[in-house]
Chain A
Amino acid sequence: MLAKIHVTFKEGVLDPQGKTVHHALNDLGYDEVLDVHIGKYLEIKLDSVSEEEAEIRVREMCERLLANTVIESFRFKLVTTE
């Protein structure tokens, strides 16, 4: 099983990188760009674990280490692999 995890800044937390890329896109003429958020993407390969179990374990991984929940939020998808 593969866990595909996105970690991004919470709403209201300043994202200087996102802001810079936002300006750059506007400068390139993409006026429709309203906001840019830059985050992290992680893929975690899991061995012999049920989907229910993986759901609990991956959430725990995110809360304990992968995201700092003071400033970041996370979401993930579990994908079955061969």
Chain B
Amino acid sequence: MKCGIVVFPGSNCDHDCDHILKKILNQETHWLWHKDEVDLSSFDLIVLPGGFSYGDYLRAGAISRFSPVMNSVIRFAENGGKVLGICNGFQILLESGLLPGALMQNHTRKFICKNVYVRVETTDTPFTQKCNDKPVLEIPIAHHQGSYYIDPHSLNDLEEKGQILFRYCDAKGDISESSNPNGSVGSVAGLCNEQKNVMGMMPHPERCADPLWYNTDGQRIFQSLISQS
């Protein structure tokens, strides 16, 4: 699988993504600098990594989405290319309109950095196919603006179209207010577009995908993508 990892000024999970894709999963990776508008048609996957692009000024992702590379990413996505946005990458996908809704400050008003559980809501997407035998994944979150918001009508729409991929839950997969760390509507932790080729999630799968670590649940997302390339 040929993967492009976008580097914005302030990205800080780009090397983690590269480490997992290249060193752990033996995939071809390339850096994509935010200032370069390039043809991405030869790529199988574009990753928008986590971090604090442009210092999160104005709103997280608000300025990055106007980077020249985003014109390429939008074109790539419109042609059916797979795009994975993690944390700040998810925020950028929402700001660019590739995914619906918005991310707001956590309802606790604090930066939250901890392991959480997410329930896989559908395995019928290129990002979750390999989660069949594992309905609950343990993946860390680390964010300040991770509270997902969309109006109730559109949330219904996302549910009906199977676009919600992950919801915050407890270890057993039960969803409640106490298992929702940031106040996201519908406990949404990750979603995809209607065509199911663009996905954004707040938890960091690249932080739990190296076998040196006790937890490799995050590998499932990358393995799902690899299995179709």
Chain A residues close to B by CB (< 8 Å)? 13-14, 16-17, 20, 65-66, 68, 70-71
Contact = CB atoms under 8 A, between A and B. Distances in A.
Contacts of B104: 13-14, 71
Given A65-B62, A65-B66, A68-B59, A14 B102 contact: no
Contact of B149 (A20, A66, A71): A71
Given A65-B62, A68-B59, A70-B101, A16 B106 contact: yes
B183 interface: yes
A66 B95 CA distance: 11
Top 4 A-B residue pairs of the complex, sorted by shortest distance between their CB atoms: A70-B102, A71-B102, A16-B109, A16-B107
A16 B105 contact: yes
A13 B149 contact: yes
**Interface size class, chain B:** 20 to 34
Interface of B: 58-59, 62-63, 66, 94-95, 100-102, 104-109, 147, 149-150, 183
Contacts of B66: 65
A21 B13 CA distance: 34
SS of B interface (majority)? loop
A20 B107 CA distance: 10
Contact of B102 (A16, A20, A66, A68): A68
Nearest to B95: A68
B144 to A, nearest CB: 11
A9 to B, nearest CB: 8
Contacts of B109: 16-17, 20
Contacts of A65: 58, 62-63, 66
A71 B147 CA distance: 12
Given A65-B63, A70-B100, A71-B149, 8 more contacts: A13-B149, A14-B107, A14-B147, A14-B149, A14-B183, A65-B62, A70-B94, A70-B150
